[in-house]
Amino acid sequence: MSTKKDKFSTQDIKFMRLAIKLARARKGLTGDNPSVGCVIVKKSQILSIGQTGLNGRPHAETNAINNSFQNLSGSKMYITLEPCTHYGQTPPCTNSIIESGIDEVIYSINDIDNKVKGKSFKILTKKNIKVKRGLLKNEVKKLYNSYLVNRLNKMPYITGKIAVSKNNLIYSENKKRITNKFSEKLTHFLRYKNDGILITGKTLNTDNPRLTCRLKGYEKFSPKKIILDKELSINPKSYIFKNAKTEPTIIFHNSKNKNKLRILKKQKIHLIRSDLKRKNSFYLKDILEKIYSLGIRSLLIEGGDKITNSFIKNNLFNEFYLFKSPNKLSKKKKYSNFTSLKLLNKKYDKTPKIRFRLLNDIITIYEK
């Protein structure tokens, strides 16, 4: 490791910001691997760019090198994360960099993977490639918040989302939609960015949601559906039940009802029996560890008040989106309150918050 602090030019900052944008665009879509952005520059001109491939391969550095049709000798590579140094399903990115003729590499932060951490610096400098580190490291650390949670905790990165009316209702029988169409698009963007989406059986039977991403052109990125349904009370007329054969669906339950189990298995639903606590509720951490073992690295919770409250109490949300509508909902028929707002603000009292408007809706993002 170098003893002096590396210095960077305004151009270095500009090109690394582009690499960050490339990485951010693929975040949530690269499976086990982190989303990396890469830019190759020569004489202040961009020769090539690269991102981590969908589902994690090829890596960004390899894509950037392969995307260039020019001689890379004398060029400089900007990468958001330390390039890999080990053989896995693909050769090391450091090999590709060395073979390409690139003269200088600037990457922001070290990888936390022990197979890589700090090794690329030694490998590349031994081949007379100049290496600098630390550029925009605070921005990049935030970019890899989900990757850090995955690798360090062996848990999915968990995002919560709930929409609330002006009079603090999350459901009214007289009106289903709470927020405006732009907030709805943001909800679908969150679905696009997450591997899985979790609700309860109660929410399923009350709302009959689809839980799909319906942004035009991104429908194929809909998350896997995960339902917490102790007694397998899922309505066979619901959208999720009817489409389970083509849209991956997982149900965590605690039922021994052979008839229900047979019917759901016939629909190709993945059934996982889980133990209950004394209060007749699931052990959420056990559920989340199992979800992680199934390859789901980012999870969106779109449940009701009870499940949201449980996640807040157990400090399980890594970030939370609160959608606040200026409109009131009726209390004439069945309705549900959002009781967790005070608890939410208390739990995130000392953490950053982002607040913005989408027309008249106010969105607040709570972050750990």
Residues involved in catalysis: 61
For residues 99-131, one letter each, b for 16 or more C-beta atoms within 10 angstroms of the residue's C-beta and e for the rest, the string is ebebeebbbbbbbbbeebeebbbebbeeeebeb
d(C-alpha 299, C-alpha 291), whole Å:
9
C-alpha distance across the termini of the chain, in Å: 31
At which residue do the structure tokens 């918040």 appear?
Answer: 145
d(C-alpha 206, C-alpha 203), whole Å:
5
Residue (of 95, 106, 164) closest to 131 by Cα position: 106
At which residue do the structure tokens 């609330």 appear?
Answer: 164
Cis omega before residue 58 (within 30°)?
A: yes
113: which DSSP letter? -
At which residue do the structure tokens 């339902």 appear?
Answer: 227
Alpha helices in the chain (DSSP H): 10-26, 60-67, 93-100, 119-126, 137-143, 145-153, 181-193, 201-207, 239-242, 258-266, 284-293, 305-313, 341-347
Q: Output the furthest CA–CA distance in the chain (Å, rounded).
A: 75
